[in-house]
Chains A and B, each alone.
Chain A
């Protein structure tokens, strides 16, 4: 031991070290692999093979439900005077209309409407409704929730409003609203969004409150960071995965709510094609004419399950702890 030390000591120090220039800008840089948050999110997300399958199916469903109604207009009343077309199985319907056609691929419904065109037109309504409602509710809910969670004076009034409205059963509120303002597409959107944001907002408020009082946030406030900047830079990045998780449950839930409300007869009006109404019409004789009943059920189930699974996986991927 002592020998080595002695040996080293003999070597001239100048041969071992050279001075580097003292660059203050360079010295601030941290040498680490480049990390981009969103790139890592998608890397993790696409590593799973099942997500590729789900995305392909979702894209197909989207294309079908926006392209098919755009080119082949769905008119439920086209055969309303032609009783021979009512409740026909695919084979019968095609025989009557002369040869194979996509239109009668799934037979006809109780007023001679094409089921195949119907499910896509309805799926488009559902997807539009879900995305519009989710966009409105999520954006209002998150902005309000962030302010609500941050401002203590606002908390006092909002918590009273919330506790009153949260006590009203959800279905009651929506159905009473639909009853009052009518059942068109936009009034339905209005009914779903007028109070829908409140529960999102409340959930978000709790999350914001937890992070608001963390040390780094407190320190930032002491340094005089303006509140909007604290919210957008200190708190929001932490909540990205929370937002995506929320979106993953919200988006399919609007499809379910629409199906549910149209089924019980207080949802969209008869003029708007909707999965709930098709299911409701098909359920009357779902064992005798199964082709009119199961396709809309299958589309509704498929849409919600794909949106849900994709959303959950995306939410998992947005959690930085999975970015290893």
Chain B
């Protein structure tokens, strides 16, 4: 059993890698990469060569290519010769001036020749952006018209995949912060003034609190290991997707707290800052910050009163799943018991309706009924009482799901009803109720059990249509919005996330089924 599961996990990881590679291949090499600039303000403000340079910077940031600017190369070269005073040297000034000349003159420069030779031998392509002047021979450059000399190299998809895997998990160490002023670097246990308990606190790490307790579920939290699903290119520009979906949303939740330097005094402040999320500030501290904080850990996120994107989806999904099993299973058993009576027929019509009608149609029917007959809030954000907003999405998810479960439960029950063990139980004189509730339904449950992990984990993915109809701030629309907005990083992140969930739920389903039914064995050898 254990060996089998390890084997399954191994093949699942392989499969995940293959899927990620395929999607990266599709998304990064077959789509128009410049689409990410359509909504980019910085790109819109820049013009001419500066815009091109900005494009290269962004492409490098999002892993499309690597590029080297000639100025940086020259700087490094002359800094090696003259040390810190390189920028007053004649050679460096020459290098900088020569690429601002229109024409091929720059090729005669010694450093340029070295640059071209060095990078061309390493497979880079040389890109020359001629300076743009108002008229030929004019001295003044057009805005953003500075000349550049670059060496670029496209990254292969397989290299991108490798970079992605390498950076998937990052651990914070005490050497993370790049700041020569910080000399006292450590990771140690400290008393945490905000929880009253102990916490692991780091100095030199990006986060101050690496492991801590607080009053929020699941009570113990960590900032030590980070999972990097991918960076958003457009919609949440530059943000890491795993933090986008797990950060809480809604209005700021202000509480009476003390800043680190106020602890021990009687000064209090009304703030929404969550002091457990402090991160290192590499910039200059303001006077105010110097007063309030003992160190340079001054950046923090704010507490908000809403659930995170993934939390909202999960709450709606899990309630719907509970309803699905609570109603679907008994109704399916009932249909099988009363086969060919009116109960069965009504149930069949219910099932056929939800099987065949597009989900979009019945979700709107629910919305229309719920809003006009019961006065429930239609759009999530407009609800005056927050709990009421959850009712329609939950109902819209669970009612069709009940139908789906009923169909399978009825099918499996009927398949079991003609088995020999049922006839034997009847011959023994067991009551019909006992036969159905303990004998048949137990056997019919086996294939149903296989789907339970998938249903629960599926709640983390969200419901695309339901969430979009009721404007639920969940994760359901993440992928579709990413596709509409050319957010390639999010597309890859979603692929990895969804695929991982589906792989895990398949393995869990098999394990659970084997636990529930002793007849099922995964061992290839043995067996009598």
Contacts and interface: CB of A to CB of B under 8 A. Distances in A.
A263 B356 contact: no
B480 A264 contact: yes
B9 interface: no
Interface string B473-501: 00001011001100000010011001100
Interface in A167-203: 167-169, 171-172, 175-177, 179-180
B26 A177 contact: yes
A264 B498 CA distance: 18
B356 A276 contact: no
B138 interface: no
B396 to A, nearest CB: 14
B468 interface: yes
Interface in B80-108: none
A300 B358 CA distance: 7
Interface in A220-257: 249, 252, 255-256
Given A180-B30, A287-B371, A164 B18 contact: yes
Interface string B17-49: 011001100110011000000000000000000
A309 B352 contact: yes
A100 interface: no
A297 B494 CA distance: 30
B357 A305 contact: yes
A172 B498 contact: yes
Given A176-B483, A260-B358, A286-B364, A168 B491 contact: no
A293 B363 CA distance: 13
B53 to A, nearest CB: 28
A42 B483 CA distance: 47
B359 interface: yes
Contacts of A301: 356-358, 361-362
Contacts of A255: 358
Contacts of A279: 360-361, 364
Nearest to B19: A168
B498 A266 contact: no
B27 A259 contact: no
A172 B360 contact: no
Contact of A307 (B15, B356, B480, B503): B356
Nearest to B491: A176
Nearest to A176: B26
Contacts of A309: 352, 356
Contacts of A307: 356
B364 A297 contact: yes
B353 to A, nearest CB: 7
B359 A256 contact: yes
Given A260-B360, A308-B352, A169 B502 contact: yes
Contacts of A172: 23, 479, 494-495, 498
A266 B31 CA distance: 15
A283 B371 CA distance: 14
A202 to B, nearest CB: 14
A163 B499 contact: no
A177 B27 CA distance: 9
Given A265-B480, A266-B484, A297-B361, A169 B31 contact: no
A305 B353 contact: yes
B293 to A, nearest CB: 44
Given A180-B26, A286-B368, A304 B358 contact: yes
A30 B195 CA distance: 91
A260 B464 CA distance: 9
A69 to B, nearest CB: 21
B16 interface: yes
Query: Is chain B's interface secondary structure helix, strand, loop, or mixed overall?
Result: helix
B368 A287 contact: yes
Nearest to A248: B356
Name which of A169, A266, A308 has the most chain B CB atoms within 10 A of its CB: A169
A279 B465 CA distance: 12
Contacts of A287: 368, 371-372
A181 B462 CA distance: 26
B31 A164 contact: no
B499 A169 contact: yes
B182 interface: no
A113 B322 CA distance: 44
A58 to B, nearest CB: 13
A180 B15 contact: no
A179 B26 CA distance: 10
Name which of B31, B352, B358, B361 has the most chain A CB atoms within 10 A of its CB: B358
Name which of B356, B359, B367 has the most chain A CB atoms within 10 A of its CB: B356
B54 interface: no
A118 B311 CA distance: 40
Contacts of B498: 168-169, 172
Contacts of A176: 23, 26-27, 483, 491, 495
Contacts of B12: 167
Nearest to A264: B480
Given A172-B498, A308-B352, A264 B26 contact: no
A176 B22 CA distance: 11
Contacts of A298: 361
A308 B27 CA distance: 36
Contacts of A175: 479-480, 483
Contacts of B479: 171-172, 175
B11 interface: yes
A39 B359 CA distance: 37
A260 B359 contact: yes
Contact of A304 (B31, B356, B364, B480): B356
Nearest to B31: A180
A258 to B, nearest CB: 9
Given A176-B491, A305-B353, A259 B368 contact: no
A249 B351 CA distance: 13
B7 to A, nearest CB: 13
A263 B11 contact: no
B355 interface: yes
A164 B15 contact: yes
A307 B357 CA distance: 10
B527 to A, nearest CB: 19
A264 B468 contact: yes
A276 B360 contact: yes
A318 B333 CA distance: 28
Interface string A294-316: 00011011001101110010000
B360 A259 contact: yes
A168 B496 CA distance: 9
B495 A168 contact: yes
Name which of A177, A249, A305 has the most chain B CB atoms within 10 A of its CB: A305
Contacts of B11: 163
Given A168-B19, A287-B368, A259 B358 contact: yes
B492 to A, nearest CB: 10
Contact of A308 (B16, B356, B465, B468): B356
Contacts of B502: 167, 169
Contacts of A308: 352, 355-356
A167 B483 contact: no
A139 to B, nearest CB: 23
Given A180-B31, A304-B357, A167 B499 contact: yes
6 contacts: A163-B15, A167-B502, A171-B479, A180-B30, A287-B371, A307-B356
A-B pairs, 9 with minimum CB distance = A308-B356, A256-B358, A301-B357, A305-B356, A264-B480, A259-B358, A297-B361, A304-B356, A301-B361
Interface of A: 163-164, 167-169, 171-172, 175-177, 179-180, 249, 252, 255-256, 259-260, 263-266, 276, 279, 283, 286-287, 293, 297-298, 300-301, 304-305, 307-309, 312
